[in-house]
Amino acid sequence: AQTVTQSQPEMSVQEAETVTLSCTYDTSESDYYLFWYKQPPSRQMILVIRQEAYKQQNATENRFSVNFQKAAKSFSLKISDSQLGDAAMYFCAYRSDGAFGNEKLTFGTGTRLTIIP
Amino acid sequence: DTAVSQTPKYLVTQMGNDKSIKCEQNLGHDTMYWYKQDSKKFLKIMFSYNNKELIINETVPNRFSPKSPDKAHLNLHINSLELGDSAVYFCASSPGTVNTEAFFGQGTRLTVV
């Protein structure tokens, strides 16, 4: 079974600075997908960024980028120019290369990110 | 226009009662899920359905019974509610093909007293 570990229960960063959230995972599969989801106080789960394991290039979405190290099974999220609206719980998630209902997400325990004005 | 909608958003009920949570998606997806988020914010899958067929059933007490009348709806019925059932329940959907992500509803906070 796959496991996802987020070793930082809480992080804080000054507004406009850069912060990196860590995630490691354990799997014996070669093809899979990794995600970062954001959960603000509204409770809604919002997809931040995704990475396909077969792609060597790190994914980027505006101020959000990842550092994907497949051999090390590491998938960190970098948030640049942090904004107050980035304050939320961030969850790292693993998805097997399945389909038709077999593609469940395995989540880490989350990192609570606080933005300091 | 909400993509994945759950009702109700909040549910407070007494131990022993039976309750249902409804979920509907208008994305045309084939796969729907129920996830549970406990008091420590840990998210874990409970069930998945693909085109009304149960695919994943993850060690969930049989007091929990999902029902999918059609591929756009997945409801969760819980019998004989216990204090430990208090959590946030998320419905999600995805196209059900490779290389796709799940879209989540806004969650239902269930409190059992």
Residues from chain B contacting residue A89 (CB–CB below 8 Å): 41
Rounded Cα distance between B14 and B85, Å, is: 11
Residue B7: exposed, middle, or buried by beta-carbon count in 10 A (0-12, 13-18, 19+)?
Answer: middle
Rounded Cα distance between B97 and B31, Å, is: 9
- Cβ(A86)–Cβ(B40) below 8 Å: no
Query: Is B94's Cβ below 8 Å from some Cβ in A?
Result: yes
Query: Is A42's Cβ below 8 Å from some Cβ in B?
Result: yes
- Cβ(B41)–Cβ(B19) below 8 Å: no
Q: Which amino acid belongs to residue B26?
A: N
Ranges of residues in chain B whose predicted pLDDT is under 50: none
* pLDDT at residue B4, as a whole number: 96
Q: Which amino acid belongs to residue A31?
A: D
Residue of chain A with shortest Cα separation from B52: A101
pLDDT digits 0-9 by tens, A64-94: 999 999 999 999 999 999 999 999 999 999 9
Residue of chain B with shortest Cα separation from A44: B106
* pLDDT at residue B107, as a whole number: 96
Are B42 and A103 in contact (CB < 8 Å)?
A: no
pLDDT digits 0-9 by tens, A18-51: 999 999 999 998 889 999 999 999 999 999 999 9
Are A104 and B109 in contact (CB < 8 Å)?
A: no
A99 pLDDT higher than 80: no
Residue B40, φ and ψ in degrees, nearest 5: -95, 15
| Structural element, H or E, at residue B88 | strand B87-94
Are B31 and A109 in contact (CB < 8 Å)?
A: no
A100 pLDDT higher than 90: no
pLDDT digits 0-9 by tens, B40-59: 999 999 999 998 899 889 87
pLDDT grade for A104, boundaries at 50, 70 and 90: confident
Residue A65 vs residue A102, higher pLDDT: A65
Are B31 and A103 in contact (CB < 8 Å)?
A: yes
**DSSP letter string over B92-110?**
EEE-SSTT---EE---EEE
Reported residue count of chain A is 117
| Nearest Cβ partner for B96 among A37, A99, A106 | A99
> Percentage of chain A with pLDDT > 90?
87
pLDDT digits 0-9 by tens, A2-27: 899 999 999 999 999 999 999 999 99
* pLDDT at residue A36, as a whole number: 97
> Percentage of chain A with pLDDT > 70?
100
Query: Is B3's Cβ below 8 Å from some Cβ in A?
Result: no
Measure A15 CA to nearest chain B CA, in Å: 25
Closest CA to B75 of B47, B45, B110: B47
CB neighbours of B41 closer than 8 A, spacing ≥ 6? A39, A89, A109, A110
Tokens for B18, please give them: 């039976």
Are A45 and B92 in contact (CB < 8 Å)?
A: yes
* pLDDT at residue A70, as a whole number: 95
